[in-house]
Each structure stands twice: as C-alpha cells, then as structure tokens.
Amino acid sequence: MFQGEATKILKEMLICYKPNAEPFLALMLQSFCESKLVELRSKTRIFVQKGRSMMGCLDETGTLEYGEVFVQCSHHAIFSGSTTSTASQDNFIVKGKVVVAKNPCFHPGDVRVLRAVDVPALHHMMDCVVFPQKGQRPHPNECSGSDLDGDLYFVSWDRDLIPPKTTKAMNYTTAPTVELDHDVTMEEVADFFTNYIRTRKKAMSAKCRKLAKLHSDAVDSPKTGVLVKLPPSLRVKEYPDFMEKIDKRTYMSKRVIGKLFRQVKDVDLGSHSHSFKFKSFTREVAMMFYDPDMEVDGFKDFIDDAINFKSEYDYKLGNLMDYFGIKTEAELLSGNITNASKFFHKRKDCLDLIIYAVRSLMKEARMLFFETLKSDDQSDFGTDIDNVYAAKASAWYHVTYHPRYWGCYNKGMARGHFLSFPWCAVDMLIQIKRGKTSNH
C-alpha cells in the first residue's frame, strides 16, 4: 500500500466515506498531509503540474540539434487541458519551450531554456529527457556542471516558469588534479581521505556566484585530490529562518522560500472545519465511528478466524514498526515517514525494505482471506461465493473496529490499535459499503 497503491485505495474509500467519519481513511490522509507539509517546509517541494523530474540521457540517433530536447511522458491524464503536448492513450510528447535545471542550482546560468521537439526515432524513450550530442558544449554540463551518469533534471513546460531571458552558463571546468611522480600508496590514499573528511566544505549559500564554482570544485575533490577552502569573507554570519539552524544566528527571510516556510510552519491540521477529529484510534473513537453498515448476514460465523488472523497480522505489523523505529501505522503503510530511528536514516535502501516487508505482510493477509473455504462454510451461504467473502470481510472489519475488541490484540506491548487489517480486502469492504449506501 505504497504511493500509487495507497493513493488508489484512498480514492476508492473517498467515494464511500467522508474523511472525518472513517478513522483509517482519516489517519492515512493525515499522514499524507503531514508528509507533504514537511516536504514543503524542509525541501520546498512544490508540485508542478506541467513538469517532471527526469533522468537525462543521450540522443544516440544524432537527430536532435543543439538547443533541442526530446521529452515523452506517461500518464497524460493529469495534464488535462494542455495545448503544448501531443498525447496518445498512454503517453504524450512535450513540444515547445521548456526549462531544464538540475539540483543543486546555484548559478543563474544553470537554468537552461530549450526547445522540446517530436522525434519519431526517439518514441521508444519514455519518462526521460533526451539531450543532443551536437553542439560546442553538452546541455547537461551547462546545468550545474552535470553529466549523464544518472543525474535527475527538473523539466517544465509551464509558461509561467520559463524565464523570459537566460544567463550564460557558468564554466564548470574541473579543477587541476594533484600530480605525483610515483604510484599512489595506500598510506597516501588514507591520508587524503582523512584530510578530505576533516576539511571538506560544500556550498553554504546560493546567493554568491563565486560559491557556485567552489561548490563544483568541492564535489569533484574526491576525484581530483584538490581540497577546497572557503575564504573567511564568504563564510555565513547568519542564516535565513527557513534553514532551521537552531544553533546559529538567524534572520527572518523576506524571500519567497522564507514566506512559504512560515506559512507552512503555522499550518495546524486541526484548525480547519474539514479537518480530522482524531489523531489516534482510541476506545472513544471506536464507540463513535463503528459503522453498522459493514455488518452483513453470516459475518459472525467468521469471527473466531478473524480474531486469530488479526492477532497474527498486528503482531507482525508491530514488529516492523519497532524494527524500523516508525511510530504510526499510517506512516508505515503510506511510506510517508516523518519520524524514524537513526537506523532508517543511515540506510538508503531502508524505504525499499519497508515497502517489501509491508507488501509481503498484506499479500499474506489477502491470501488468507481468499483461501479455499471449508465445505460447511459454502453450504451455509449457498452457491454465491461473493456472499461468503462479504461475510468474511465484514468479520474482519468487526474485530478491528468494534469497541469490544479495542486494545485486545497488543496487550502489554505498548502498541496502538491497528486498523489496516480489514483493508487488505479493501475491494470487498467497498463493495459492502456501496451496496448499503445504494439501499438507503
């Protein structure tokens, strides 16, 4: 239930439920909101509808001219109303002026305005920006001294984001390397690595163009062996408030990022009329929001099995949360993790591990749900297998949401009451709710 999966499930739930009336839906949406606010506050990650983050690659056909790029994107539906793209059923090709940049972007010349063209010979290239091999200087190098070794580029065809004029790209010539008159020894490698770790200084401010060159040299320092020293005149005396350096002198930034930072920082999810009424699933919440519509004929026949399955599911889910240091079920399931242990932040592949573990757990639960039913179960419900699955899904919901079962699955383990168990069979629960709603 990650990213696209979670979004799809939540969209289905929103058809039948109001966010402030279904606890699991509310907690998941709250997790998404908090994650997006954190991204806005700490990384200024603003969604751009007419834009993508894409990997760069080379035009191996030699078709593109200098100043041109080829951009083909999937999921064209999100760009409804666009007049600058040519769409097929599954993708669209951007045509016209585009702005291309790569993070970090320190120099005005790092932002390039190019022309996206349709090249039939490149139609097999999807969700990437294809640069030409022609010209005196590669466009990727013009973007912060980048190259095509896996770098990601921001590409947008929003007219409001395309600069009316551009600045000459900065010269990102690599600093000269340290020449030795002998083969490098392991002792010299160790000494250099130690000195590099001790003295490395990367760019500290995007205001000064001189720092852009120093930043480029600092990034290449492990390759060239040239250590970069930051002149005292370029050292920052105080930092803008949006950098949140609590141990340094700060000032209130009057720029766009500073204004956005303070607006996001002051947002209180509980201050809006449409906000969520709770932040955890307590017994009081269970008593208020248990939905009788989810009870169908015969659900009591599956209660015992549902209790056993949920106990095992919750135990494994809680172990995953403890292992990765994640505090809430919604964060674990959505992948929008705002608070985690040091172990999580140290391992770059940690989110992939979590995704795999949660998918495996939910797949296991779903297999248990659709496992072969006992013959006496089928005879009780006649020949309609859908009624059997509906009753089973109802039982899973009942042992999760009914106040009678609140807090009985994680006794003595200081864990909350988890809600995701019945939603492993989300299709059946939605079917039940839709049926009851249409009959009202």
What's the CA angle centered on 300, arms 295 and 305, to 5 degrees? 115
**Amino acid letter for position 48:** V
Provide the pLDDT for residue 365.
93
pLDDT tier at 9, thresholds 50, 70, 90: confident
* pLDDT at position 144 over 50: yes
What pLDDT sits at residue 201?
46
Question: Cα(290)–Cα(403) distance, rounded to whole angstroms?
Answer: 8
Q: Could you give the CA distance from residue 366 to residue 422 in angstroms, rounded to a whole number?
A: 9
Give 198-248 pLDDT, tens digit per residue: 454 443 334 446 666 777 777 777 777 878 888 887 778 899 998 888 889
Whether pTM exceeds 0.85: no
- Say which amino acid occupies 145: G
296-319 pLDDT per residue, tens: 999 999 999 999 999 999 999 999
**C-alpha span between 386 and 377 (Å, rounded):** 12
The phi, psi pair for 100, rounded to 5°, reads: -130, 130
Helices 4-16 and 23-43 sit at what angle, rounded to 10 degrees? Answer: 130
Query: What is the distance between the alpha carbons of residues 163 and 143, in angstroms, rounded to a whole number?
Result: 15
What does the DSSP assignment read for 267-307? --GGGSTTS-S-SS--HHHHHHH--GGG--TTGGGGHHHHH
- pLDDT (0 to 100) of residue 296: 93
Is residue 28 helix, strand or coil?
helix
From CA 395, how far away is CA 303, in angstroms rounded?
Answer: 5
Number of neighbouring beta carbons within 10 Å of residue 249: 9
**131, amino acid identity:** F
Q: Give helix then strand counts, H and E, for the chain.
A: 14, 10
pLDDT of 205 reads 39
Decide if 116 contacts 69 (C-beta within 8 A): yes
Tokens of 56: 């760069």
Of 362, 354, 435, nearest to 396 by C-alpha is 362
CA pair distance 328, 317, nearest whole angstrom:
11
pLDDT digits (tens, 9 = 90+) for 159-182: 999 998 888 888 776 667 777 777
Contacts of residue 435, defined as CB under 8 A and 6 or more positions apart, other chains included, come to: none
* Consecutive H or E run containing 6: helix 4-16
Amino acid at 176: P
The CA radius of gyration of the chain, in Å to the nearest whole number, is 28
